Amino acid sequence: MEKGLVIKSTGSWYTVKNGHDIIKCKIKGIFRIKDITTTNPVTVGDIVNYQVLSGNDIGIITDIQERKNYIIRKASNLSKEAHLIASNVDQAFLMFTLTSPETLLEFVDRFLVTAEAYHISTILIINKIDLYDDITLERMNSVKAIYRNAGYRCYETSVTEKINIDIIKNLMKDKISVISGNSGVGKSALINAIDKNLNLKVEEISSYHKKGKHTTTFSEMYELKGGGYIIDTPGIKGFGLIDFEENEISLFFPEIFKLSKDCQYYNCSHIHEPGCAVKKALENGLLSASRYKSYVNIMDKDAGKYRI
Ligand SMILES: Nc1nc2c(ncn2[C@@H]2O[C@H](COP(=O)(O)OP(=O)(O)OP(=O)(O)O)[C@@H](O)[C@H]2O)c(=O)[nH]1
Ligand SMILES: [Mg+2]
Ligand SMILES: [Zn+2]
């Protein structure tokens, strides 16, 4: 039995690194997380046991070691199957853009809820600021303020103009990070800018739809010249949450959770109760309206209207 780290996953093939050896593996058997069905049982970052059959150079993954953490999403709230984005990371970067393409803030909030639930600290990157006009720059500053007030690190960058790339490079140093976000926001371009030896495929976004083209199709972990590892992932459209309990959701909005200590009822849902400190903060402009809206939409499971 050999042990190694999954550094690439295509869905049917897994590349496992064991010291200097790189082995192509398949999986055998069924792997499940509690009662969640996943489209990909093994993900980049997993430590696995595998066997190489004699006379063969292909390995069979037989076992996954318990994950320190993982990021998981559903394609939408309606889908049954979940997808593991990565596991065993020190931190996550969520990259988004206010134009070309426009990332919806509810997408950002859904990612953050999941990352909080699994105790993965997340750094937000607002990219492509070189394209922003004055109005968009103003919006960028208010978005940055929303997330900084909620307790997150948030940086604006331009990969093409090399703005703030060194800040991100330093944050990645000596850590295992994953980067996620919509297609076309510049995830792979950022990694190329951080380590010039890596030559990841980057492609123009469609000029017609202003959407990314899903250039990165597989998740893969790269070693950074400056120290550390980064997992580049394919762009995602929606970030459906796996089934959290309703009363858990406010725990995953750090600023709402803080405010909730002053609510009249200990089990306040912050939606319709009297004496709610969260709603009071919202009315006084102390809580961001977009964060609260995301909270309400996530709580409103019955609507089933989530399509982001
Ligand atoms: N103007 C501008 N363009 C950028 C910036 N960063 C990346 N791009 C461009 O955006 C396009 C998409 O970049 P990618 O790195 O392929 O995007 P991605 O997030 O990896 O996309 P997927 O792999 O599809 O998920 C490319 O044409 C990049 O050159 C930026 O800061 N400013
Ligand atoms: Mg990419
Ligand atoms: Zn309340």
pLDDT per residue rounded down to tens, the chain (308 residues): 899 999 999 988 999 999 999 999 999 866 766 667 788 889 999 999 999 987 888 999 999 999 999 999 997 777 788 999 999 999 999 999 999 999 999 999 999 999 999 999 999 999 999 999 999 999 999 999 999 999 999 999 999 999 999 999 999 999 999 999 999 999 999 999 999 999 999 988 877 677 888 999 999 999 999 999 999 999 999 899 987 888 899 999 999 999 999 999 999 999 999 999 999 999 999 999 999 999 999 998 644 444 44
3-state SS class at 221? strand
Total Cβ atoms within 10 A of residue 199: 10
Best substitution site from 125, 132, 188 to test ligand 1's pocket, by max atoms within 8 Å of Cβ? 188
**Whose alpha carbon is nearest atom 9 of ligand 1?**
186
**What pairs with residue 87 in β-bridges?**
70
- Round to whole Å and give the CA distance between 86 and 6: 10
Distance between Cα 248 and ligand 3 center (Å)? 13
Q: Which run of H or E residues covers position 25?
A: strand 21-27
Number of helical (H) and strand (E) elements in the chain, helices listed first: 7, 13
CB 150, CB 291: distance < 8 Å: yes
Q: Would you give the DSSP letter of residue 294?
A: H
Which residue(s) pair with 123 in the sheet?
A: 93, 153
Return all residues near 37 (Cβ < 8 A) that are at least 6 apart.
80, 81, 82
Ligand closest to Cα of 273 equals 3
262 Cα: distance to centroid of ligand 3 (angstroms): 8
- Residue 21 identity (one-letter amino acid): D
Residues with CB under 6 Å of ligand 1 are 127-128, 130-131, 158-160, 181, 183-189, 202-205, 212-216, 234-235
Residue 199 corresponds to which tokens in the numbers above? 């030559």
CA–centroid distance, 151 to ligand 3, in Å, is 19
Cβ-based neighbour number of residue 245 at 10 Å? 7
Over the range 151-171, which residues count as b (16 or more CB within 10 Å of their CB) and which as e?
A: ebebbbbbbeeeebbeebbeb
Task: Report the phi/psi class of residue 123: left, alpha or beta, with left for phi > 0 and alpha for psi in -120 to 50.
Answer: beta
> Which of 102, 203, 218 is the best mutation target for the ligand 1 pocket, counting ligand atoms within 8 Å of the beta carbon and taking the most?
203
Assigned token pair, 221: 């972990």
CA distance 209 to 21: 42
Predicted confidence at residue 34, as pLDDT, reads 65
Ligand closest to the CA atom of residue 295: 3
